[in-house]
Structure 1
Amino acid sequence: NSVTNSGAILVPMLLAMIVSSVVGGQLISRTGRYKAQLLLGLALMGAGFFMLSTFSIGTTNQETIAAMVLIGLGLGMTMQTYTLVVQNSVSRADMAVATSTTQLSRSIGAAVGLAILGTILTQGLATSITRYLPPSAVQKLQSSGNGSSAAAVFDPAQLSHLPPAIAAAIRHGLADALHPVFLAGVPIIAIAFIATLFIPEVPLRQTAHVAAGKQAAAQ
């Protein structure tokens, strides 16, 4: 069913995230370099988001999985690496504050981004669905307040009970409405890429500074 298919498409992204995170962590530990990995990860994510912005209802699962794998590889290479960059650039005494600030900023960004992208999707659904509906169906949709069809967009069981013309319009409309959502992520990733270019690559610490921590505690 569609729920199983959706989960199956997400699994490769999660696996790619795990693999790239482990491999990337090993490379950073061995080389002490992390900036190139951050830039590569952002480039992969940007490519994945751009691919998703071009998809239609005729897109195959294999094409979707390829885009999700790119995004997963990028996430695995960047998420924990940015935390490492912050921790490596502050003193041991400030590490807890710096780490918590990083997590807070990430949570705020996720909440704001979800709200913005969700608004783009909901605003685009109304116009994109009606573009594919017959005139008679548009009148019924407007008189009903768009409630039933909006629910059918994300409910495969309800979508299967709709007339074929309306079901096809909803599928086409959802595909069109998703294009600007994923496309909006590309400039955000581009901004992160440019900002990362200006991050100084501080050499990784080779010790945990245990002695410094004991000295600070004694004082």
Structure 2
Amino acid sequence: MSHQQVEKAADGPAADAAGAVDALPRSPREIRLVMIGLVVAMLLAMLDNLIVGTAMPTIVGELGGAEHLSWVVTAYTLATAASTPVWGKLGDMFGRKGTFVLSIAIFLAGSALSGLSGSMGQLIAFRAVQGLGAGGLMVGVMSIMGALVPPRDRGKYQGMFAAVMALATIGGPLIGGFITDHLSWRWTFYINLPLGVLALAFIVITLKLPTVRSTARIDYLGALLLTVGITSLVLVTTWGGSEYAWGSKQILGLGALGVASLIGFCYVEQRVEEPMLPLTLFKNRNFALVSVIGFIVGFAMFGAVTFLPLYQQTVQGASATNSGLLLMPMMFGMLVISLVVGQAITKTGKYRIYPIIGTAVMAGGSLLLSTLGTETSRFTSACWMVVLGAGMGFLMQVTMLVAQNSVELKDMGVASSTATLFRTIGGSIGVALFGALFTHQVTATMKERLGGAGGAKSANLGQMGPEALRKLPAPVQDAYHHAVANGMHTVFLWGAVISLVAVAAAVFLREVPLRSGAAQKPETQLEAV
């Protein structure tokens, strides 16, 4: 029976072949056991880059190849972003449990090989393997939770994932620093192995989901075009203004390739039997709107995570050793509000008001952070970070919830991967755009305060650590502090403006009732595993 035939056998929009079995009532104990495996898998995916980042100077010292340092992160990010939609579709077509287990296995293989790397080239290649698995981890966690727990009850569990994000952001640099100092940089990769085995054990033993016998052809051309398009756009935002000038032939060529690939992808998706990403999903108003909101949330969040520690270390004199702790106020606001909103949605079944409040609070938090100056106290900046984090707390899980509730259960994987992809691309573009704005403002301020030589000097200062900056002459320090503060003003002011787009999108969301029970089981060829 083909995927289309399975779908036709269903009775009602939420009762398809995979979805009907997925949505059968589960005992609280069964769900809790599966959630342990899902939480550990999510922790693996989110913690990796943060742990490895701390160890990078040591890695370069041993392996050499400093000129290729950025590719250790870029290879992972590219593979994750490009594989995300593919994993989502494969899970919908062939069963979520099997594809999730495969993604964990690939991630662990990449981790082991990265730890064994003998050169920078090997490390970059094996990091790409890791990223390939990480794309499946992120999508698998969200789509499996969407399959096991009806949207009405999902708020009970979404706080777990907000807590994982906070733990990864704060604990990642701390763990990475400890491992690098007391063990070896290779253990920043090996630490994934026991955690991954634990996640695998819980998933294999406790998770019971159907294996879908799909005979539909995989959309290889669509997958290729989408991968090329995503990869090109991520490279444009990663390299633009740093590796190459924005107007260079490399950046313009990558931009043209990305646009052409995505146009070709849209053309192909309208003509294949089983599209990699059904464009009809965007005809659903809520799905299209939360995709926009998710994009802007990624835009704002990654921008804040990138530039706030720089301001705190440079202007406020905070220690760089425990850099993850600098973001604790923002993560605290995100975690608390996410927990409260999750419980409220479970109790009332209403959700439309939260994206409206969240986008407005996010815009307000960005506006408050745009007032940061050279005299702003740490307490004040922490309060403004809590506001921004609270806005994100209203949005982080709700956007995924609305996206999943807007599609049939057979498309749960595609919905989860699309929501994740938009947030990832938003973060990539946000960091690139904010970086360009920040650099321009810093250079302009340095020229204004130190004359013509100030602009050239600002580029060198940006490569110096806080301790080295404190040894510079007082006028240079003062000029750079003002330059960074002005850069922060520009970044977060534009962040507030862009957040208003998310506010407008949230206002037009419709209150569609959340599914609260199991779908009717159709007569299809499925087997529980």
TM-score range, shorter chain: 0.7 to 0.9
Asked if 1:28 is matched to 2:345, the reply is yes
Deviations 1:128-163 (A, max 9, x none): 122222x4xx43x46x664432324xx211111100
Paired residues of 1:159 and 1:167 also in contact (CA < 8 A): yes
Residue of structure 1 in register with 2:255 after alignment: none
Question: In the aligned structure 2, how far is the partner of 1:94 from the partner of 1:73?
Answer: 30
Q: Which residue of 2 aligns with 1:84?
A: 401
In the TM superposition, residue 4 of structure 1 has moved relative to its aligned partner by 5.8
1:174 aligned partner: 484
Write out per-residue CA displacement over residues 63-117 of structure 1, whole angstroms, 9 at most, x where no aligned residue: 1011100111111110110000011111111111111111111111111111111
One-letter code aligned to 2:462: A
Residues in 2 aligned to 1:5 and 1:50: alpha-carbon distance in whole angstroms:
27
- 1:112 alignment counterpart: 429
Distance in 2, matches of 1:51 and 1:132, equals 25
Distance in 2, Cα, partners of 1:146 & 1:9: 24
- Asked if structure 2 preserves the Cα contact closer than 8 Å seen for 1:21 and 1:76, the reply is yes
Match of 1:65 among 372, 382, 390: 382
Structure 1 residue aligned with 2:392 = 75
Contact 1:45 1:71 in 2 (8 A): yes
- Does the CA-based 8 Å contact 2:458-2:480 persist in structure 1? no
Does 1:195 find its partner at 2:512? no
Cα displacement (A) at 1:51 = 0.6
456, 460, 475: which one aligns with 1:165: 475
Which amino acid in the other structure matches residue 185 of structure 1? G
1:204–1:125 CA distance, 2 compared to 1 (3 A) = same
Cα distance in structure 2, aligned partners of 1:182 and 1:17? 18
Match for 2:476: what amino acid? Answer: I
What amino acid maps onto 2:481 in structure 1?
R
Measure the CA separation in 2 of the matches of 1:158 and 1:7: 21
State the secondary structure of the residue aligned to 1:131. Answer: helix
Show the counterpart of 2:496: 186
**Residues 1:4 and 1:91: Cα distance change in structure 2 (over 3 Å):** same
User: Which residue in 2 is equivalent to 1:103?
Assistant: 420
Q: Quick check: 1:151 aligned with 2:151? A: no
TM-score (norm 2): 0.38
CA contact (8 A) 2:330 2:385 kept: yes
Unpaired runs of at least 5, structure 2: 1-317
Q: Which residue of 2 aligns with 1:125?
A: 442
Q: Using the TM superposition, give the Cα deviation of residue 22 of structure 1 relative to its aligned residue in structure 2, in angstroms.
A: 1.0
CA spacing shift, 1:123–1:90, aligned 2, 3 Å = same
**Out of 370, 373, 381, which is 1:53 matched to?**
370
Distance of 1:5 and 1:65 partners within structure 2: 16
Instruction: Summarize deviations over 1:141-194 as a string: whole Å, max 9, x none.
Output: 46x664432324xx2111111001101110011101221110111121110110
Equivalent in 325, 339, 358 of residue 41 of structure 1: 358
What amino acid is the match of 1:165? Answer: P
Equivalent pairs, count: 210
- Give TM-score scaled by structure 1 length: 0.88
For residues 16-72 of structure 1, give each alpha carbon's deviation from its aligned partner in whole angstroms, at most 9, with x where no partner exists: 211111111000011111111111111111111001111111001111011100111
User: Equivalent residue of 2:462, what SS?
Assistant: helix
Between the aligned partners of 1:9 and 1:65, the Cα distance in structure 2 is 9
Output the CA distance in 1 between the equivalents of 2:476 and 2:328.
31
Q: For 1:216 and 1:167, how far apart are their aligned partners in 2?
A: 70
Alpha-carbon deviation of 1:9?
3.9
Aligned residue type for 2:470 = S
2: distance between equivalents of 1:217 and 1:101?
28
Ranked by relative contact order (alpha carbons within 8 Å, sequence separation 6 or more), the top structure is 1
Change (3 A) 1:145 1:64: closer
- Runs of 5+ consecutive residues of structure 1 not aligned to the other structure: none
C-alpha distance in 1 between matches for 2:345 and 2:483: 44
The residue number in structure 1 matching 2:242 is none
Identity across matched positions, percent: 36
Could you tell me how far 1:5 is from its partner in structure 2? Answer: 7.9
Please identify runs of 4+ aligned residues in structure 1 that moved more than 6 A: none
Give 1:208 deviation, angstroms. 3.8
CA–CA distance in 2 between the matches of 1:98 and 1:50? 31
Whole-Å Cα distance in 1 between the matches of residues 324 and 421 of structure 2? Answer: 28
Q: CA-atom RMSD, angstroms?
A: 2.1
